Amino acid sequence: MSILVDNIGELVTNDPALGDGPLGVVTRAAVVVEDTRVVWVGPSDRAPAADERTDLAGRAVLPGFVDSHSHLVFAGDRSAEFAARMAGQPYTGGGIHDTVAATRRASDEELLATAARLRAEALRQGTTTIEVKSGYGLTVEDEARSLRVAFEVTPETTFLGAHVVPVEYADRPDDYVALVCGDMLEAAAPYATWVDVFCEQGAFDADQSRAVLTAGMAQGLGARVHANQLAPGPGVRLAVELGAASADHCTHLTDADVDALAGSSTVATLLPGAEFSTRSPYPDARRLVDAGVTVALATDCNPGSSYTTSMPLCIALAVREMGLTPQEAVWAATAGGARALRREDVGAIRPGGRADLVVLDAPSHVYLAYRPGVPLVHRVMHNGVWQ
Ligand SMILES: [Zn+2]
């Protein structure tokens, strides 16, 4: 079955060979989809026939958003902690332990219901690819079941047993690292694509982080790192050294960190929802792009420091607070996310790619930042199916 998606006012392909500028923009465009794939992209007046036709009345179409960093498997609520923080208490990351306790108490069904609800919420806002981490179980069984739940909502799953040292290991963190690298990894690996570590003061140092990442890589997992969120540190350079797909947060970077990223295949994934929700200084996306670093935007959706699934919010924040142009922010939220997950089939609209389209109730991609907070997503196609 083929569908002609016609009368697109502005089509963002992210393929400069197909249209104008870095976003490969085609105006008065059409896309033909067959089953789950895009098979034709170009001007409306040259579009081939198809079994069905959808007329978009001049709306803008973008590739589905690629949210390459989220924590959707959890239980509990931290709205009181958020309110306290907005009343002046500093963010320390300590509230993670509350979520760990609630997650361990929850049934598999409760965890899946929450993850599926948030996955559906993200899809309605245009997110067609999402990465989901474990990291609120922190026992062998709870990390394995967290990843089984994650795998029910996405194939992009990440083992984050090294999220924080759980309270029962507080005085022997190296024993916890050994558990993560041993039995926990073994139980988690069948359900995981990636391994991640929170490399930060108060979490895991450079040696511990390297141990976790290399153990995961030896099991065939790709590496990603929570790096340089709260302070400068070794996370970004470790990510580059190990060839990680992504260094995430990148809020506090030295010039050496920026140079290391620019000379590497590691994407800098910026998570402005975290700075928004912790009232913290934003990362300097302008500095990274100007240095030649590949930048992605993601939500970091989690109950403590960024409880949003909205990629349009992240785009608006990146433009207003982090120095990106609308064009750069849209690229980072689509093609950038695909790079951060090392995916070739998503993040662009081109023949052979997955048919993931976001239709905006607006004439151009600029409106995502120009009209912040407005539900601009008119319709979403995921895997060739209108949602
Ligand atoms: Zn995170």
Report how far ligand 1's centroid is from the alpha carbon of 76 (Å).
Answer: 17
Identify the band that residue 123 occupies on the pLDDT scale cut at 50, 70 and 90: very high
What confidence tens digit (pLDDT) does each residue in 325-381 have? 999 999 999 999 999 999 999 999 999 999 999 999 999 999 999 999 999 999 999
371 close to 102: Cβ distance less than 8 angstroms:
no
Give yes or no for residue 89 having a pLDDT over 90.
Answer: no
Residue with structure tokens 């179409």?
61
196 close to 244: Cβ distance less than 8 angstroms:
no
Q: How far apart are the C-alpha atoms of 358 and 351, rounded to whole Å?
A: 17
Ligand 1 is an ion; its neighbours by CB within 5 Å are 300
Q: Are residues 110 and 256 in the same domain?
A: yes
Query: Quick one: which of 231, 96, 101 has its CA closest to 164?
Result: 96
% pLDDT > 90, the chain: 97
What CATH number is given to the structural domain containing 160?
3.20.20.140
Report how far ligand 1's centroid is from the alpha carbon of 300 (Å).
Answer: 5
Residue 93 is predicted with a pLDDT of 62
Q: Are residues 382 and 313 in the same domain?
A: no
Identify the band that residue 90 occupies on the pLDDT scale cut at 50, 70 and 90: confident
Q: Are residues 241 and 129 in the same domain?
A: yes
Report how far ligand 1's centroid is from the alpha carbon of 70 (Å).
Answer: 6
Residue 176 belongs to domain spanning: 65-340
Q: Are residues 30 and 71 in the same domain?
A: no
Residues 6+ apart with CB under 8 A from 148: 108, 191
Report how far ligand 1's centroid is from the alpha carbon of 373 (Å).
Answer: 23
Report how far ligand 1's centroid is from the alpha carbon of 55 (Å).
Answer: 39
Q: Give the mean pLDDT of 164-193.
A: 97
Q: Give the mean pLDDT of 114-126.
A: 98
pLDDT averaged over every residue in the chain = 97
3 close to 50: Cβ distance less than 8 angstroms:
yes
Residue 92 is predicted with a pLDDT of 66
Residue 326 is predicted with a pLDDT of 98
Q: Are residues 10 and 149 in the same domain?
A: no
Q: Give the mean pLDDT of 55-76.
A: 98
